[in-house]
Structure 1
Amino acid sequence: MARYALLTDIHANREALEAVLRDLAGRRADRIVVLGDIVGYGADPAWCADRVADLAAKGAIVLQGNHDAAVDRPDGAMNAIARAAIDWTRPQLSAAQKAFLAALPLTACEADIQFVHASADHPQDWIYITGERSAWPSFAASKARVILCGHVHVPAIYSCDMTNRVQSQRITTGRPVPLIRSRRWLAVIGAVGQPRDGVPEAAYAILDTAANDLTFHRVAYDRAAAAAKLRAAGLPEPLALRLLNGS
């Protein structure tokens, strides 16, 4: 039995990552899991890569996201803003940092839990899970009772019952969602570094396998400082605005 702290989509946002790690220090977590996209969009890719590498050296599970992969292998599916940010990011990273990102796995499993950045079906294709229909292929592809992912930047949770009916479930920040054992579960963990659900605070979650529940958390951080760094670096203005308004 363990408590997993689930972080995803850090996106080179040092201020957000530091705030989440400070918040975690006040909550008992046995293991940290980083579900990918350590870099991209934000102004501190080198610092975030090193900080996550340090977490990995201390036992954290760390996966590769599409922005991490794009540092080594350009992704033609990215939009112009994402490509501009990756093109800026690439020379900011050392050879060792690039090698760390390139070597990260796409998925990991522990007991009846699967961790993945995007989706459990074809994780290398970076599929977005945005509703019940797009959640179903992950349930079909995985044998895990609980699937945990990121990529979408909007927190969500879906259940799949014994008749394979997938339903979206309500989330209340700070209130545990019971993971009823007669169902399977897929949760999209909100972004640490670039939330897009209209709430600009950094998002993460804690899975408690003893209590059999999942709790979503939000943490305030210095968004103005992070946005100022983006502007100083000459990164696209929409990236700074997105940090400020969370959408």
Structure 2
Amino acid sequence: MLRICSLFILMMASAVHAADRLSIEGAARVIDGDTLEVAGTRVRLFGIDAPERSQTCVGPQGDWDCGRWSGEELTRLIGGRTVRCDGVEWDRYERLVARCEAGQGDLGAAMVQGGAAIAYRAYARDYIYPERAARYRRRGVWRNGGDNFTTPAEYRAESRAAQAQPPQRAPAHGACAIKGNVSASGQVYHIPGQRDYERTRIDETRGERWFCTEDEARAAGWRRAAR
């Protein structure tokens, strides 16, 4: 009987400990627009998906660093205040998926309302209406009305596909190493040394091509990639 009682107490203690791990509070360090570290725990904001740090978006004035800006927006919303997170679950990367706030309401909702993130429909539908409002008002990633917008999930998939392929070499006429790429951002060319140069693939069946000079690329209607 004593052994059974001891086992029950241990089980209850474990359950309480697991529940305690789902609620954390403390200083936060922003990693990107939907991920932060709170009191030493990596946290993924529930129900939203923000542009990746290296991601660019299309705007009325051309490509802009929406991924970097998204992280800066989360930092601004937190404003150095203590962050409290109520967990929903642990994901496969051992991050706590949680709703978080820093004294001014749900951080996930605020990020979507400002266009700094989108509703992550694959996992939740909580932020669909705030997203629609942000898109209507052309906030953040929607400043171009959503035209040619690559979602963070699509961007990650494209990056994984590019990394899985061997490096692409320039044509035999070597000097023509500028990549004219057709993507969601339109006709954009990448020069050697730019961040996205190596992962950009040229498919001539899609109208993509190599250029020898930037003047040649611009004359053909391509514009230089932001990075």
Instruction: State TM-score, norm by structure 1.
Output: 0.28
Find the structure with the greater CA-based Rg. 2
Higher relative CO (CA 8 A, sep ≥ 6), structure 1 or 2?
Answer: 1
Higher strand share: 2
